Structure formats: C-alpha cells, structure tokens
Amino acid sequence: MRIYCLLVLLTPAVFCKANVRLPAVLSDNMVLQQRSQVNLWGWSEPGEKIAVTASWDHRTISVTGTRDGNWRLTLATPAAGGPYTITLDAQNHIVLDNILIGEVWVCSGQSNMEMCETWGLPDVKAELPTCYTDKIRFFHVPRTTAKTPQNDCPGAWTACDSNTLKQFSAVGYFFGKKLNQELGVPIGLIEVAWGGTPAEVWTPAPLVEDDTILEAANEKQTPANGWPYKPGYCYNGMIAPLTPFAIAGAIWYQGEGNTVAPGSYSRLFTTMIAAWRQAWGLPLPFYYVQIAPFTYGVKDQGSLLREQQARVMQIEHTGMVVVSDIAGDTNNIHPKDKHDVGDRLAAWALADTYRRQGPDYKNPTYQDMEIRGDKAIVTISDAPTGLLLKGKTAKALTIAGEDGVFWPANAQIKADKLIVSSPSVKKPVAVRYQFSNAGVGNIFGKDGLPLAPFRTDNWPINID
C-alpha cells in the first residue's frame, strides 16, 4: 500500500491533516469477492471527501466522511481476474496494489483448524517445495479478544509460498488449493481460529447470555489462563472486524471445546451460524467438520457432541464432513491428516455453492429402521451406489433390546441397507454405530466416504 500526504504550507509550519485510513483487511495483495458488491470503508476527517477509483472499470466513486469520522462505499467487482489497483484520493493519496478478484472464504474454529506445518504435519511439509502460487492468498487474524465488537484487527495479505504456508491453517490451505484447481480462479483465505475455544466465544454475547439453556452450558466451561471462554470475546475481536468484507462462505472445525456440555451444541451452533449470516448480510454457506473419535474422559460426551453436529445439517447451505476413517490415533485429539479434511470440505463447496458435478460429497447417513423378527433393517441415505464393509465383521456397531443393553452386532449389507443382528438380542429395539467417544467403524459408501455415526434411539444419556 502506497500512502502519500498532500502537504499544506502554513506560515513556517508544514503539517498534514488527519489521513484517510483503512482497516488491515483492505490492503495490498487482497482478494476481493468476484461478481459482488464489495465494501470499502475506513476513517477520515469529518466531512472529508474521498474519491475511489478501481482499475478494473476506471470509474470514480466519491463518499464523504461522517460526523464520526467514518466512511463506507460499495464497488461492483467483475469476474475473477487481476491484478488490479484501487486508488483513494483525499487529504492523502492511497494506492492498493496487486489486488485479485476471486473467491474468499473464512476458515475458523479451534486447534484442528489452526494446525499448520509447524505442528509436524507431513502432508503440509510435502507441499512446501512446490506450493508457491500467487493465486492463493492468506490473511491470518492473530488471537484477539474484546468485550465489545471491534472495527479493525491486525493482519496482512500474503501470497502462498513456503514461508507463509508454514504458519497457515493446513485445512484452509488444502481447501483453497482444491477450489483453485477446480474453479481456476484466485482464492482468498482468511484464518480466524484459536485452539481450545468453545463456540460461545465465536457467538455474539447477547445471543448466549439471553438464552438460559446456552448460558447454563457456558457456565460449565472451566476457565483457563490464556484461553477465552466468555461469550462473544473472539467474535468481537476477530470476526466483527471482518463482517463488512465480502466473502463467499465459511469453513469450520470446532466442537472439542464444547464436549463439557454437548447437549445444547446444535442450539449454540445454529445460533452462531445465524448471527454470522446476519452480520455479513448474506446466507453464507457454512461447511464444517464433525469432531474425530477421541478418548474423552467422560463416557459418551464425544458421541453426543457429534450427534448434535449432525443435527445442524437441517439448516440450508450447511454441510458436514465425517473424518472417523482418517482420525488415526484416537488418543490424539489432533489428527494429522488435514489434506483429506480440506478436500472433503472443498467437495461440499464445489457441489453446494458452485454447483459443480463431481464425486459424491455427502457421507452416507442413517435414514430409518424397521424391525423384522430378530433383525433390524437399517436404511442409509446418500449411498446411491450402495454400502461396503471393509473387513469381515462390522466394527463399532451395536444392537439392544428393550433392556437398553447394547451388544456387538453383525451386519449384512444389501444395497443401501444394513441387516443388523446379534445372538444376544432376540427382540431388537435400537442400533448404534460409532456411538462412543473413540469408536471407529468400517462401513462406507461405495464411493469411499465413511458412514456417519448414528443411533436409532433417543434414550436419555446423562454425562454429568
């Protein structure tokens, strides 16, 4: 960004009036959302006139600073391309250089979104020698909290290279790389993540504090030095400053931080998504990762959280990625395979947002169950070519009778149906699959995606 001051000579003193200023996200090397109405905004002298010219159409638009010293205007962006410049003329002269037009996505959540090459991720390390591309740009928001919504945050746009990639979200990078390859347009990725954070901190505080259920769940969080847990603190410092910036959508990898009170997570998560969509003024696509199998300390807290995450799929333009098959060591809450996670998120975006035909992107999911004698016939949706059992016997599959005692189950596969039984259960009532903290199953759609965890019952489970 080149900034020039127009000097005014008064008696022997030379000084500048207050310069027009821009937030950090509006800077050199940024990616702007294509075919969109994008905002430019900042601060100035009250009543100051600012003239803005974009090189893609050479039109000049003017705006006047308000009494509070704020200003905002809207530019129409063309189809993907660049590089372009934007010039701002006021008391000072600003030139924003090397701007690309493309697709912009926010990458948010906790540590599994935050993980980068420095965490020892082999897939990212393998990318470093050949990763340079000017068509993928990063903006990394540092960890910041605030009691009230802020209008700016630190950060700078950079091109993807062997240095910048080392510090950037691996999931975000592989997501963006896939979009760039498939769409052939520049991709802007904004990382806004903080390890260990519950979803409450990413949600505007009044929406949590005015909801007795959400407030009670948040009170179960254990305060820890250096990790925010109060509602709104990360939203205010890291999300709110970005909301005027036009984006295509968001990807999200979080949930581990809410296993202390999993029963209300779908209520919290849907509240958060709605708040983000309202703040951006768009029905943002929102694709997220179901938490991986892990040996949590309290029985069923992970499985209940995953169940809650699955319920959020009822919201339009949301999509969930199942990662049970690539979790690796279930004693490690940080699976190292972030390449497949990013690719699976990208598959959702390509199909749901960009309407691109490709491989199946939806995980097979439970649809309904019918009891026939001593067998439970479970029908699975989103398995158009049928199901596949990898191995001789099903893993993490259980069945129960009216007594509620679950036994390991056998499964036969017929197209999109599981025929589930056990010699220990003569009159089955319920079936569960991967419904435990660290359970890893081996049932897949024939397209290769794993069957999502499920249970057919709604029996109460108390983890307190």
Q: What is the pLDDT of residues 412-441, one digit of tens each?
A: 999 999 999 999 999 999 999 999 999 999
Do residues 312 and 266 touch, judged by C-beta distance below 8 A?
A: yes
Q: What integer pLDDT is reported at residue 108 of this predicted model?
A: 98
Q: Cα angle at 335 between 365 and 356, to 5 degrees?
A: 50
- 197 has pLDDT over 70: yes
Averaged pLDDT for residues 143-160: 97
Average pLDDT on 148-157 reads 97
The proportion of the chain whose per-residue pLDDT surpasses 90, expressed as a percent, equals 93
- Domains of the chain plus CATH, in order, are 2-100 (2.60.40), 102-353 (3.40.50.1110), 367-455 (no CATH)
The yes-or-no verdict on residue 228 having pLDDT over 80 is yes
Decide if pLDDT at 146 tops 80: yes
> What is the overall mean pLDDT for the chain?
95
Residue whose C-alpha is closest to residue 403's, from 421, 424, 374: 424
pLDDT for res 223: 84
The stretch 195-214 carries a mean pLDDT of: 98
CB of 363 closer than 8 Å to CB of 452 = yes
Range 132-153 average pLDDT: 98
Q: Is the pLDDT of residue 8 over 70?
A: no
372-382 pLDDT, tens digit each? 999 999 999 99
Determine the Cα–Cα distance for residues 312 and 252; give it in Å rounded to an integer: 13
Query: Which pLDDT does position 135 carry in this prediction?
Result: 98
pLDDT tens, position by position, 395-414: 999 999 999 999 999 999 99
What are 100's two structure tokens?
Answer: 């690309």
Instruction: Locate the DSSP E strands across 213-268.
Output: 249-253
pLDDT for residue 19 is more than 60: yes
* pLDDT tens digits for range 290-321: 999 999 999 999 999 999 999 999 999 999 99
29 close to 13: Cβ distance less than 8 angstroms: no
Task: Please report the pLDDT score of residue 224 as a whole number.
Answer: 80
Q: Looking at residue 12, what is its pLDDT?
A: 37
DSSP characters over 396-462: SEEEE-TT--EEE-EEEEETTEEEEEBTTBSS--EEEES-SSS----EEETTSPBPPPEES------
Sheet strands (E) in 111-181: 133-140, 157-160
pLDDT tens-digit map of 107-135: 999 999 999 999 999 999 999 999 999 99
Q: What is the pLDDT of residues 165-178, one digit of tens each?
A: 999 999 999 999 99
Residue 9 burial (10 A CB sphere; 0-12, 13-18, 19+): exposed
How confident is residue 462, by pLDDT bands cut at 50, 70 and 90? Answer: confident
Average pLDDT over residues 260-266: 97
pLDDT tier at 28, thresholds 50, 70, 90: very high
State yes or no: pLDDT of 3 exceeds 80: no
> What is the mean pLDDT of the segment spanning 271-290?
98
Q: What is the pLDDT of residue 6?
A: 42
* pLDDT at residue 4, as a whole number: 53
Mean pLDDT of 197-214: 98
pLDDT at 18: 72
Query: What's the pLDDT tens digit per position in 381-394?
Result: 999 999 999 999 99
Percent of the chain with pLDDT over 70: 96
pLDDT of res. 444: 98
Q: What is the mean pLDDT of residues 338-366?
A: 95
**Binning pLDDT at 50, 70 and 90, where does residue 15 land?**
very low
| Cα separation, 250 vs 202, whole angstroms | 13
pLDDT of residue 1: 72
Instruction: Write the pLDDT tens digit of every residue in 346-355.
Output: 999 999 999 9
Q: How does 21-34 read in b/e, with b if 16+ C-beta sit within 10 Å?
A: ebbbbbbbbbbbbb
Contact by Cβ (8 Å): 119, 34: no
**pLDDT band per the 50, 70, 90 thresholds, residue 2:** low
